[in-house]
Amino acid sequence: MSFTNLGLRAELLHAIADQGYDTPTPIQAQAIPYVLAGRDLMAAAQTGTGKTAGFTLPILQLLSTRESLSLSRFKPRALVLTPTRELAVQVHESVRTYGKYLSLRSAAIYGGVAMGPQFKALKHGVDILVATPGRLLDHIGQRSADLSGIEILVLDEGDRMLDMGFIRDIRKIIALLPKKKQCLLFSATFSDDIRGLAAGLLDHPQSVEVARRNAPTELVTQSVYHVDKGRKRDLLIKLIDDHGWHQVLVFTRTKHAADALAERLNKADITAAALHGNKTQGARQRALEDFKRNKVTVLVATDIAARGIDIDQLPHVINYELPNVPEDYVHRIGRTGRAGSEGEAISLVCVDEHKLLRDIERVLNRPIEKRVIEGFEPDPSIRAEPIQNGRGAQTRPARSGSYERKPGAPRTPQRPSRSGFGNAAAHHNGARHR
Ligand code: AMP
């Protein structure tokens, strides 16, 4: 299978060639023909599968080859909703990258930055709008965004949007769209909530399911280092120093812990930046860029902020604190071991986290190798204490979700797919979905 067989126009093939891609990924091979045929789509695919190009390429083709249905050339024709600012930026970058030889206009609209430039872009006219739900509703409230010309809607990372409590915002936005439109729903997992959303939105959808491009179990070496809570920082510094690691993504449960750890690492002469939802958009982008360009050695991130981060060949992921939800562990370690390169995921686990570790092993369906480093042996007299999920925040039960989630947002843990990674299966409405 090549991109040429998918029926994409020359300008898109040219842009794809510039990227150096020679074969479509399974999700692209499955999804692109259906989207081009105008079908609604329900796609089970995670970050790392090439899903963004899977919807961006056919949307660019459809919009560039058919006349706008709307009389106004200022109204957006395609809307991509994403749960996070980072993902909005990345999707928008893809739209620009793949659409560089076409004359379609695009904009990304997300919170945490001034509205001014966004007003300007919208006023200028946009064909493809990538947006986070909250900021888009702000624009609708101010009448700067008009969704009455939308021909194609994409909900990207649908499960995350529901986890983050965006369901009401999404429903409000959908109510403003024309009845007749093509809808594409991408989600890593298909919970009852997602199915409920899909049922009301999609019309005889084609289902496409692909497993992750790389299975954590296949390409990521996982290990647990048992260590007391108060000694985690020293152990992390020792590991980085001893191995000479130059690019390490470290996860904490809370924003406060991310800030505190980044500060301490910097004091220990290990360059580090924190990435979390309290940072301004500019600071988040800068931290990510510095990390990608190896200007900082360590990026300390919370789960939601790290969602959608795409760094080729990220060698090391450290769980400084285990996530409250086992599925977040799978997402975290999925940041490494990509694109065929081997990755390493290390979890620093203290006595408080033993239950979380058992939950993770249950989801993985196998134990993780345990290690103890000399000089960092846990003190057996230390008793487990309830996990604090942030300064001043009440302790939440282990499965209630990570600290950054909106209170009350539903969270239904899903078992990761057991199917082989890189496999793809397309099937019709109502067929196998987890
Ligand atoms: P995504 O799952 O959309 O976040 O994409 C993951 C990564 O795969 C991105 O870095 C893309 O640039 C890359 N990618 C997308 N399509 C292809 C392809 N056909 N061949 C190689 N890499 C790709």
Q: What is the CATH number of the domain that holds 357?
A: 3.40.50.300
The larger pLDDT score, comparing residue 217 to residue 229, is at 229
**Residue 137 and residue 30 share a domain:** yes
* Mean pLDDT, rounded, for 18-42: 93
- Tell whether ligand 1 has an atom less than 6 A from the beta carbon of residue 133: no
Per-position b or e across 326-365, b if 16+ CB within 10 A of its CB:
bbbbbbbbbbbbbeeeebbbbbbbbbbbeebbebbeebbe
**Residue 167 and residue 258 share a domain:** no
* Domain around 128: 3-209
**Residue 225 and residue 192 share a domain:** no
Residue 49 alpha carbon, nearest atom of ligand 1: 2
Residue 19 alpha carbon, nearest atom of ligand 1: 12
Q: Which protein residue's CA is at the shortest distance from atom 23 of ligand 1?
A: 50
**Residue 149 and residue 41 share a domain:** yes
- Tell whether ligand 1 has an atom less than 6 A from the beta carbon of residue 93: no
Would you state the pLDDT for residue 109? 97
- Tell whether ligand 1 has an atom less than 6 A from the beta carbon of residue 82: no
Query: What whole-number distance in Å separates Cα of residue 414 and Cα of residue 188?
Result: 10
CB 322 within 8 Å of CB 360: yes
Task: Count CB neighbours of 384 within 10 A.
Answer: 11
**Residue 149 and residue 123 share a domain:** yes
* Encoded amino acid at 330, one letter: V
In the listed set 152, 175, 209, which residue is the last one of a domain according to the structure? 209
**Residue 171 and residue 104 share a domain:** yes
Residue 25 alpha carbon, nearest atom of ligand 1: 19
Question: 418 pLDDT exceeds 60?
Answer: no
What total number of domains does the chain contain?
2
**Residue 297 and residue 166 share a domain:** no
Would you state the pLDDT for residue 420? 29
Is residue 357 domain-resident? yes
How much of the chain, in percent, has pLDDT values that exceed 90?
A: 59
**Residue 351 and residue 306 share a domain:** yes
Query: What whole-number distance in Å separates Cα of residue 39 and Cα of residue 428?
Result: 12
- Tell whether ligand 1 has an atom less than 6 A from the beta carbon of residue 417: no
Is residue 406 domain-resident? no
Q: Which protein residue's CA is at the shortest distance from atom 18 of ligand 1?
A: 21
Is residue 64 domain-resident? yes
**Residue 255 and residue 191 share a domain:** no
426: confidence class by pLDDT, cuts 50, 70, 90: very low
**Residue 283 and residue 238 share a domain:** yes
Model pTM above 0.75: no
Residue 24 alpha carbon, nearest atom of ligand 1: 19
**Residue 321 and residue 242 share a domain:** yes
* Chain segment 175-196, per-residue pLDDT in tens: 999 999 999 999 987 778 888 8
Q: Which of 273, 271, 269, 223 is nearest to 252 (CA)?
A: 273
Q: Which of 334, 369, 326, 50 is nearest to 219 (CA)?
A: 334
**Residue 306 and residue 187 share a domain:** no
Is residue 180 domain-resident? yes
Q: Which protein residue's CA is at the shortest distance from atom 15 of ligand 1?
A: 50
Would you state the pLDDT for residue 281? 75
